[in-house]
Amino acid sequence: MPGEGTKFTGEITVAARIIDYLSSGLYRNPAACLKELVNNAYDADASTVRIYVKPDADRIIIEDDGSGMTREEFVSHFSRISESHKRDGSEATKSGRPKVGKIGIGFIAANELCEVIELFSTKAGSADLLHVTIDFSELKKPIEQRRRPGGIFKAGYEGTVTETAKADHYTRLFLRGVKGGAKGILAGARAQVKNRDARSLYGLNAKSVETELKKPELKTWKDFDTYSETMLRVALNVPVQYHANWMPARFRKRVASFEKAVKKLDFSVSYDNTELRKPIVFSPHGRSLIVPFKHVGKNVSARGYFYAQHGIVRPIELQGVMIRVRNAGVGEYDSSFLGFPQSEFSLIQRWVSGEVWADDRLEEAMNIDRSTLRETHPAYVELRTTIHEALRKVFSRARKNIYSVESDIRRDSEVQKQAKNLALTVSESASVLGPKVASNLKRAWARTAKRPTERDQLLKRYQISELYEVVIQAAKEVLDRRQMGRFLDELTRRLRQ
């Protein structure tokens, strides 16, 4: 790196109102932390982000070709968390992207992954190279020892400004001293499911990842190792494109606007050289349908789609509804569909997956972790009500056009199978029955199989008592008492075998 330059030091503090979140762990898993850092690059107008985790996750590198930052911008953005200046002057980046970050907490999320961050950043047209080392070791001290006027000490930093080429513009983060739990998840190559070989996406290109996600035996992302699961969870939440064939071809026109919207963002992320795409891939093995969703309301507006198929949506991580605001995911799929009653359409709920893009008014309902929503906020309440109304129509349509139709198809197939087996049985006994009786039997049941109002007779199941009732009544009409007794004795013997 360039030689000595202007040195500076400082402290990062957080507002007291969010210290409880930060102390207890704001993010559920390493993927949630990484997606915050990726979204920071997105807000810096980066077109390319590269994440390097392998071989052992001892050090994580995240680099982007975004606008970079100066010393003054760093101090302004990060000296006090929850008072971010990211949206000062504009809600959008210079390229027109709606900014994802708001209170500046995303960058500091890295403290849940590592002990130290090294940052190198420069802006196009500037010869200044910013180098900052952020040390989170002070977090081990009690809060009482870290109190400052107006906030809580979060980390200390040391920085220098040296010279570099004016044409450069980038930001590179080096996360050093990756913590044990996070390290095990990020580099994990072991199977997560007992008695099952580990599957990994490491080293695959986007097309191969899509192929893996389409395999019918894939039940859950946990069928992969933790390294791959983390990769998929990052991809789900950041504004990357969809896979080339993520949706059945007949539905592509219905979702084309969503594909075009993310493509227009011109944002790509690679994870150890694997290009990330949204890990949403549907490969139905039966009937399916798609229903557009649109709402224009007093407190929130939104648009999206609901996809339904015959059978459970797999992997199970895609069951439910995914909410997106400003192109970034709010957590993961909510399998409860924002609390839709479990007693309604309980079977079909697992057959449906949807995405909903809400406008900026829903952002006010987001909790500080950007993964959950406040259920009492007017925007959330309105959106939930509207989604539930739409879902009742989706579920009803799926039951009628998928469940009922598939049930009729299976029933018809079983009727034809039973008719064929009956005809075969009669043919094998034709020498005993005689040609006339055999022909009459075949013809009678063949007619029954073709008549919608009668065909279910071929599928009727009898209890033993019901069978005897039918047989005895028939025997009375054609057999004398002695013959009937012998017949019933033989029938009983065979049924008990």
**What pLDDT score was predicted for residue 358?**
98
Sort residue 394 into left (φ over 0), alpha (ψ -120 to 50) or beta: alpha
* Distance in angstroms (rounded) separating the CA atoms of residues 135 and 138: 7
Q: What is the pLDDT of residues 22-71, one digit of tens each?
A: 544 567 789 999 999 999 999 999 999 999 998 788 899 999 999 999 99
Residue 20 has pLDDT above 60, yes or no: no
The whole-chain average pLDDT of the chain stands at 87
Q: What are phi and psi of 38, to 5 degrees?
A: -65, -40
* 229-233 LR contacts (CB < 8 Å, sep 24+): 229/31, 229/192, 230/29, 230/30, 230/31, 230/34, 230/185, 230/186, 231/31, 231/201, 231/271, 231/274, 231/276, 232/201, 232/279, 232/317, 233/29, 233/31, 233/32, 233/35, 233/332
Structure tokens at 483: 């013959």
Helix (H, G, I), strand (E, B) or coil at 13: strand
* Distance in angstroms (rounded) separating the CA atoms of residues 213 and 277: 11
- 402 near 287, Cβ under 8 Å? yes
Exposed e or buried b per residue across 74-97, where buried means at least 16 C-beta atoms within 10 angstroms of its C-beta = bbbbbebbbebebeeeeeebeeeb
DSSP string, 175-218: EEEE-HHHHHHHH--S-SSTTS--B--TT--HHHHHHHHH-TT-
Range scoring the smallest mean pLDDT among 10-14, 243-247, 280-284: 10-14
**What pLDDT score was predicted for residue 145?**
64
- 101 near 84, Cβ under 8 Å? yes
Give the confidence band of 349 by pLDDT, cuts at 50, 70, 90: very high
Q: What is the pLDDT of residues 85-127, one digit of tens each?
A: 555 567 888 888 999 876 566 666 788 888 899 999 999 889 9
Residues 434-439, mean pLDDT to the nearest whole number: 88
Bridge partners (DSSP) of residue 358 are: 302, 325
* Closest by Cα among 309, 293, 205 to 248: 309
Q: Which residue has the higher pLDDT, 152 or 357?
A: 357
Assessment of whether the complete model's pTM goes beyond 0.85: no
Give the N- to C-terminal CA distance of the chain in Å, as an integer: 88
